[in-house]
Amino acid sequence: MSNMLAPSGIVDYVEHSALDKVALPQARLWVMAIIGGMFISLGGLLALVVAGGSPGLAASNPGLQKFVFGAVFPMGFIAVVLTGVDLFTSNCATQMVPLQRARIDLATVARVWSVSYLGNFVGALLTAWAFAYMTGIFKPGEPATNFLLNVAHHKLENPFITTFFKGMLANILVCVAAWQAYSAKDTLGRMMAIWLPVMAFVALGMEHSIANMFFIPAAMLMGLDASFGDFLLHNLLPATLGNIVGGALVIGLPYAWIYQPGGDQH
């Protein structure tokens, strides 16, 4: 027996998973989304502490520091997939499969996306306050704190269109990670399938809306000179729109169309 699904089998699996999520009571989806936002944020927290705590590496080999930052961040998405909680950005692609196959309508997609997005936001904000700020991990003037502030400042200074396209590529890679994870039938295979694309988008400096719900508020708690309005308008809005386009229009709908039900299994 093969230890992985064929591409058409992945799309069928995605459809069933998406329909299961649609059928959940809304309160359960809320809790799943809050935990999902927390897990992504904890991956971001680990990446900040490890990569940000290596200023010598940044000075001597900045590419390697970017790799380190990307290499540990996937912990969060691996936890989301393996424990079965919810993430808005992967839903951007997965809900497109039953939509394209006329199993659900746009209003249902909008409901799932809305609950997922807002629940992820709550989880990310709680993590920024409880685990980045209240734990005292970030102290003024320390390398990891300066790194956090620099990361957040850079995310806010990009033009709208730049952040949009960075958001688009980020979610193309996140959704490829999810698709690849669904192909594997063992835990290690799923972990490796997720790790490489997620590491890539982080090391490349792309924009993931849910991760940014943690990074920028955490930096604001540590003194970043930015308002919540700056965060919403100059980063979260374009990153979210880019995530939707990358996930829904580049991954979800094309794969649903390519691999129709009952089509070629190879």
Q: What's the total number of domains in the chain?
A: 1
189 lies in some domain: yes
Domain housing 215: 7-131+143-258
pLDDT for the residue 1:
45
Does 100 reside within a domain? yes
Residue 136 lies in a domain: no
Is there a domain that residue 266 lies in? Answer: no
pTM for this predicted structure: 0.95
The pLDDT of residue 266: 44
Measure the CA–CA gap between 231 and 233, rounded to whole angstroms: 6
Alpha-carbon distance of 266 to 9, in angstroms, equals: 9
Residue 223, domain CATH: 1.20.1080.10
Give the C-alpha separation, 61 to 5, whole Å.
Answer: 39
Q: What is the mean pLDDT of each run of 10 residues along the chain (266 residues)?
A: 80 96 98 98 98 92 96 98 98 98 98 98 98 97 97 98 98 97 93 97 98 98 97 98 98 97 58
CA angle 174, 147, 244 (to 5 degrees): 25
Whether residue 2 is contained in a domain is answered as no
For residue 184, the SS3 value is strand
Q: Residue 264 falls within a domain, yes or no?
A: no
User: Is 138 inside any structural domain?
Assistant: no
Residue 263 is assigned to a structural domain of this protein: no
